[in-house]
Structures are given as C-alpha cells and as structure tokens.
C-alpha cells in the first residue's frame, strides 16, 4: 500500500520538488492588468505594488499572509532537502556497514591462516589457543581504551546550558 510518506510514486510520475501552486505567482486582475500578492494588489508601470487606496490593515494582512506562505514554502523545501540528504547518509552508512563486515571476514580468514600456519610448528590445538589468546589481548586493550574514552564524555551540553541561562536576563528591559 502506498502512502504519501512511503516514498513510493506511481509509475511515470517524476520525483523531486513539488510543483508550485498558482497562488504564489502574480496574477492578472482585472484581465490584462498585472497584480501581485494573495489579494491581487495591482502593480504600477514600474512593477511595484499600487497601494494607493489600500488600508494599512489590508497591507499588513497581505504582508502577513505572504510571510506565512514564504515560511511554509521554506519549510517544505527544507523537508525535501533533508529527506534527500538523509537518503544519501543512509546509503553511506550502509556502505560503511558492508566495509566493516568485509573487514571482519578478512580478520577471520587471516586468523584461520595464522592458526594453520602455527599448526605446523606446535600442533592444531596449541595454534588455535595462541590465536585465541592474541585476539583476547587485542580485545582487552580495545576495551581499556574505549572505557577511558567513554569516561571522558560529558553528557551535559555545558555551553547550551550557559546560553539558555542568559536568555531571561536578555529579555528583561534594562
């Protein structure tokens, strides 16, 4: 089942930015006379809005609606861009995962090769034990280093807390 959020599109429908709605463009009202804005404010010969005769309240209302439309369009654009970037990031993370698995397989087969190489010197059982001890030492060293780095992490965002504490004083009149 396809939903608007599934990313699936019907066949033949191009993907990308949505087509802008006609209300975002200058219209002609009355026919033949160029106008701008949601209310259809007529324009002068220079292309500027002809505001003579319009009340301040009407003009402020039109500016408010235009800003609201602009903000909605900017948010929609940001969502489309973020979705595109998230898809790229997901694909990159998948490739890192594949590289990690390939690295794991290389280490596994190199360990088996070392095991078999040592088997000619000390026997299969002892060579397997030597390879296991080597990996145990590597794991212990990685654990100690990781624990040390983890203890250095400070989960409290110090700078954000400091700046948020300054907000109330900045809002008070001096």
Return the closest-CA partner of residue 23 out of 8, 5, 40: 40
Q: State how far the Cα of 32 lies from the Cα of 118, in Å rounded to an integer.
A: 91
Find where tokens 């299969």 sit. 124
What beta strand segments (E) does the chain contain? 35-36, 41-42
Band (23; pLDDT cuts 50, 70, 90): very low
Structure tokens at 133: 């001890």
> Please, what's the b/e burial string for 37-53 (b: 16 or more CB within 10 A of its CB; e: otherwise)?
beeebbeeeeeebbeee
Query: Biggest alpha carbon distance in the chain?
Result: 102
Q: Which residues 6+ apart lie within 8 Å of 86 measured at CB?
A: none
> Angle at which helices 56-122 and 124-151 pack, to 10 degrees?
150
Asked if 34 contacts 42 with a C-beta cutoff of 8 angstroms, the reply is yes
Q: How far apart are CA 9 and CA 1, in angstroms?
A: 11
The label of the residue with tokens 């998948």 reads 94
Choice between 36 and 98, residue whose per-residue pLDDT is larger? 98
* Mean pLDDT of all residues in 95-109: 93
Higher pLDDT, 71 or 158: 71
Question: Among all chains, which residue has been given the structure tokens 């259809």?
Answer: 40
List phi, psi (to 5°) of 102: -65, -40
- pLDDT range class, residue 169, cuts 50, 70, 90: confident
Of the segments 6-10, 14-18, 60-64, which one has the largest average pLDDT value?
A: 60-64
pTM comes to: 0.45
């Amino acid at each position: 089942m396809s939903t608007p959020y599934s990313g699936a599109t019907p066949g033949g429908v191009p993907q990308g930015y949505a087509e802008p709605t006609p209300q975002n463009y200058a219209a002609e009202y009355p026919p033949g006379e160029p106008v701008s804005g949601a209310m259809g404010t007529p324009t002068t010969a220079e292309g500027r809005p002809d505001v003579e005769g319009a009340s301040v309240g009407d003009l402020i209302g039109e500016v408010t609606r235009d800003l609201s439309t602009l903000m909605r369009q900017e948010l929609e654009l940001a969502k489309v861009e973020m979705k595109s970037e998230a898809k790229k990031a997901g694909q990159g993370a998948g490739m890192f995962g594949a590289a990690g698995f390939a690295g794991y397989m290389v280490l596994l087969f190199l360990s088996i090769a070392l095991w078999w190489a040592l088997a000619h010197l000390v026997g299969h059982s002892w060579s397997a034990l030597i390879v296991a001890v080597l990996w145990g030492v590597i794991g212990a060293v990685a654990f100690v280093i990781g624990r040390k780095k983890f203890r250095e992490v400070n989960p409290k965002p110090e700078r954000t807390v400091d700046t948020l504490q300054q907000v109330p004083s900045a809002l008070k009149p001096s």
